[in-house]
């Protein structure tokens, strides 16, 4: 289905099922432990052996030799596959930066260098410890601050919407900044972060002749099918992926990882199915992470707060041929200013691969831009909400001829401020106390692009009147099963209980996949297209004029006549397949989502400990398909923002080149006790230029800006500005106001 004009009135607009707060239809499976995650697919193939990955013990160098004799002789061992069995690194998969296996060269710490296969997990783990590896270690580059001064300019894209050229100039920034009566010129840093999803990277692989099936945990099935075919040097039609349930991904499972490649190689060598769950330390060092950044922001404004000049630069690091963290991307679009400059630099580092993590680019970029905006508001003696409101724009600031499809950022600011009680905030820092606690409020804006991409689905009307939906779309805990069922129920006029949804199988039609907060809108739009075809087929089968037909309450009606929907499938199931093709709609209009985040914190004046007391997000994200699931996504993202602001940081050993805190005990993430009440407001502005669903994404928007809102609240509470995330107590303790 070509989508080349704004959507008119359509069956989704009935909102009998879509748009209603609906409990997840997969909830009973999740809560009873019967949802089959990758490592638990015990029934898919018999005689599964256990694989255990061995990671490199150096960050950069070359393997001189590997002695696997003791491991091969250990009890229960079936086979041992080493990287030296392959003279050269295996080909790179789609958007992989680091080679996942093969060859003697070591590019980063915990790079997979062997996989041991045994009858039990314990036998495989014990045997892996018996492998003796000799290395020729060479010096590496592990310190971003040291490499940053010589880093070259480098443009790039996150692959999911956040992108910027190496350098971009509009107007004359230098002249405008020099002339601005009010200026901010600050440098900020954000650290390396880990996805730390609960479910590890996990795969079961089984060969049938020259064809391989992988039951795995992956967000983008079509991408990964193609990647595995390339890595394994086999035709794509010989690869099948199946990933119906995913225990968190956050971008870490967008691409093929070493668990899938090692399982496939090991299963081929062992001549039996092999299952691998990547051990937790390797999840930080072997897979991907969000790269650290050093960011510089300069803002120039008139005395009434109107921005005349914006400059934002970001320096990050990655492996050779890697991409930068696109932290300046949102700055190109968020606020109006006639004179603009953004650029990115990329240092070559020999740390593990930097790649997509929830809201890549915007998440660390807004942690900085929105703190700088707060500093500008203080310099102007102006309310931070008002500063943002007067610098709003309804067109792309760099391309004034391109309007936003829908942009209601000011409404987010006003609505959020009113609900949160922002007017009660004391603008002078360190003035509000409750006993030993210093109390402060902060706010920040949120921005995330709305990406349109092709997505297909198949729907079948069964003989018994039930509907079956099939698409390779994935559910990473976001509620995809439910919103697809809602879409089918709305379009075909049946109860939600009459729809069965099957996901995550590469044998199904190719969908948008889960990433870049594009999944919900595009995947439901693809199903919408398939349902439109099925409606035509049903009408034709029943002898109705398809232009006048109505689908409701399990019946099909037109011209004063009606028939049960199931009647159309009496002679056999009816199947329809189609997809959503957004054509150039994403270029004709600038498409994005917006939010305003408000936070209240308390900082212990004795210890410097920060406690979050209240959080609120007001979101403009088009039509909300399922408010209950969408709220869950936003409060989860807000919680992730708390982690980024206050505790999350991969500590780099700059001597030996690895992340020291590579487990859940030492890499701190927020727990329930850290998170207070969170309020989410969804503004009702359907976007008819986004899709027939008139929806947009929201799962990453909820993260964008949260960190800065917390940082700004801490400053309001204490009067101490910390510009290096995370804001741990050691960074402001000595500067806190004296205790009375």
> Could you tell me whether strands 49-55 and 112-118 are parallel, antiparallel, or unpaired per DSSP bridges?
antiparallel
Residues 6+ apart with CB under 8 A from 497: none
C-alpha Rg value of the chain to the nearest Å: 27
Rounded-to-integer distance, Cα 294 and Cα 313, Å = 8
> Could you tell me whether strands 49-55 and 274-277 are parallel, antiparallel, or unpaired per DSSP bridges?
parallel
> Do residues 597 and 661 make contact, with C-beta atoms less than 8 angstroms apart?
no
Which residue, 672, 676, 677, 678, is CA-closest to 618? 678
Q: H/E/C letters for each residue in 158-192?
A: CCCCCEECCEEEECCHHHHHHHCCEEEEEEEEECC
> Do residues 172 and 179 make contact, with C-beta atoms less than 8 angstroms apart?
no
Which residue, 284, 282, 255, 278, is CA-closest to 192? 284
Rounded-to-integer distance, Cα 531 and Cα 578, Å = 8
Rounded-to-integer distance, Cα 85 and Cα 68, Å = 12
Question: Is 700 one of the annotated active-site residues of the chain?
Answer: yes
Residues 6+ apart with CB under 8 A from 559: 544, 545, 548
> Do residues 476 and 219 make contact, with C-beta atoms less than 8 angstroms apart?
yes
State both tokens at 23: 């409990």
- The residue assigned the tokens 């909400």 is 385
Concatenate the DSSP letters of all residues of 106-161 into one string: E-STT-EEEEEEESSHHHHHHHHTT-EEEEEE------HHHHGGGPPB--EE-SSS
> Could you tell me whether strands 132-137 and 239-242 are parallel, antiparallel, or unpaired per DSSP bridges?
unpaired
Residues 6+ apart with CB under 8 A from 648: 191, 193, 194, 667, 668, 669, 726
Which residue, 386, 422, 387, 362, is CA-closest to 600? 422
**Active-site residue identified among 160, 490, 577, 700:** 700
Residues 6+ apart with CB under 8 A from 556: 493, 538, 539, 542, 544, 549, 550, 562, 563, 564, 565, 567, 568
* Residues recognised as catalytic: 700
């Amino acid at each position: 289905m070509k989508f080349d004009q704004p959507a008119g009135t359509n069956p989704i607009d009935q909102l009998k099922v879509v748009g209603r707060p609906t409990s997840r239809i997969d909830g009973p499976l999740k809560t009873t432990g019967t949802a089959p995650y990758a490592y638990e697919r015990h029934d898919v193939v018999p005689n599964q052996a256990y694989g255990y990955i061995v990671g490199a013990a150096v960050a950069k160098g070359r393997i001189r030799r590997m002695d696997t004799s003791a491991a091969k002789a250990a009890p229960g061992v079936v086979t041992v596959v080493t990287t030296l069995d392959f003279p050269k690194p295996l080909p790179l998969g789609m958007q992989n930066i680091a080679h996942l296996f093969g060859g003697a060269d070591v590019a980063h710490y915990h790079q997979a260098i062997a996989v041991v296969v045994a009858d039990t997990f314990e036998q495989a783990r014990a045997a892996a410890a018996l492998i003796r590896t000799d290395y020729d270690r060479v010096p590496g580059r592990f310190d971003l601050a040291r490499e940053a001064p010589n880093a070259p300019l480098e443009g790039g894209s996150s692959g999911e919407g956040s992108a910027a050229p190496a350098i971009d100039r509009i107007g004359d920034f230098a002249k405008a900044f020099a002339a601005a009566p009010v200026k901010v010129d600050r440098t900020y840093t954000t650290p390396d972060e880990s996805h730390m999803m609960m479910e590890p990277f996990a795969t079961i692989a089984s060969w049938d002749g020259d064809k391989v099936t992988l039951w795995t945990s992956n967000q983008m099935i079509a991408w990964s099918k193609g990647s595995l075919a390339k890595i394994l040097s086999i035709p794509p039609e010989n690869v099948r992926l199946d990933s119906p349930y995913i225990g968190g991904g956050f971008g870490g499972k967008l691409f093929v990882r070493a668990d899938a490649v090692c399982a496939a190689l090991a299963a081929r060598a062992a001549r039996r199915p092999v299952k691998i769950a990547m051990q937790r330390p390797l999840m930080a060092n072997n897979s991907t992470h969000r790269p650290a950044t050093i960011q510089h922001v300069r803002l120039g404004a008139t005395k009434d707060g109107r921005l005349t000049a914006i400059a934002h630069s970001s320096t990050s690091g990655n492996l050779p041929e890697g991409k930068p963290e696109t932290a300046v991307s949102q700055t190109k679009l968020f606020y109006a200013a006639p004179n603009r400059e953004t650029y990115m630099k990329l240092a070559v580092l020999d740390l593990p691969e930097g790649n997509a993590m929830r809201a890549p680019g915007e998440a660390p970029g807004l942690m900085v831009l929105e703190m700088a905006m707060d500093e500008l508001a203080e310099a102007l003696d102006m309310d931070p909400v008002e500063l943002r409101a007067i610098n709003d724009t309804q067109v792309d600031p760099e391309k004034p001829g391109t309007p936003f499809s829908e942009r209601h950022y000011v409404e987010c600011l006003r609505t959020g401020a009113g609900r949160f009680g922002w007017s009660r905030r004391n603008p002078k820092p360190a003035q509000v106390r409750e006993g030993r606690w210093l109390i402060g409020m902060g706010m920040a804006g949120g921005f995330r692009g709305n990406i349109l991409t092709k997505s297909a689905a198949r729907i079948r009307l069964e003989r018994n009147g039930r509907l079956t939906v099939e698409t390779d779309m994935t559910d990473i805990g976001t509620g995809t099963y439910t919103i697809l069922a809602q879409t089918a129920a709305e379009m075909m006029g049946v109860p939600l209980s009459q729809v069965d949804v099957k996901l995550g199988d590469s044998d199904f039609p190719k969908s948008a996949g889960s990433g870049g907060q594009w999944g919900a809108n595009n995947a439901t739009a693809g199903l919408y297209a398939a349902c439109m075809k099925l409606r035509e087929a049903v009408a034709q089968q029943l002898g109705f004029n398809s232009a006048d037909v109505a689908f409701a309450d399990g019946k099909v009606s037109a011209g004063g006549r009606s028939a049960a929907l199931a009647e159309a499938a009496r002679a056999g199931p009816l199947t329809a397949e189609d997809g959503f093709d957004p054509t150039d709609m994403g270029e004709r209009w600038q498409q994005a989502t917006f939010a305003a985040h408000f936070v209240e914190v308390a900082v212990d004046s004795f210890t410097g400990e920060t406690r979050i007391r209240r959080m609120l997000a007001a979101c403009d994200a088009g039509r909300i398909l399922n408010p209950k699931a969408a709220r869950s996504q936003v409060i989860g993202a807000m919680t992730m923002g708390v982690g980024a602001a206050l505790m999350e940081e991969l500590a780099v050993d700059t001597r030996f080149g690895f992340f020291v805190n590579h487990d859940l005990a030492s890499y701190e993430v927020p727990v329930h006790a850290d998170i207070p009440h969170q309020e989410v407001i969804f503004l009702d502005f359907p976007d008819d230029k986004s899709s027939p669903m008139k929806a947009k994404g929201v799962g990453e928007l909820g993260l964008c800006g949260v960190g800065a809102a917390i940082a700004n609240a801490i400053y309001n509470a204490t009067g101490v500005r910390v510009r290096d995330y995370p804001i741990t107590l050691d960074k402001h303790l000595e500067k806190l106001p004296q205790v009375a």
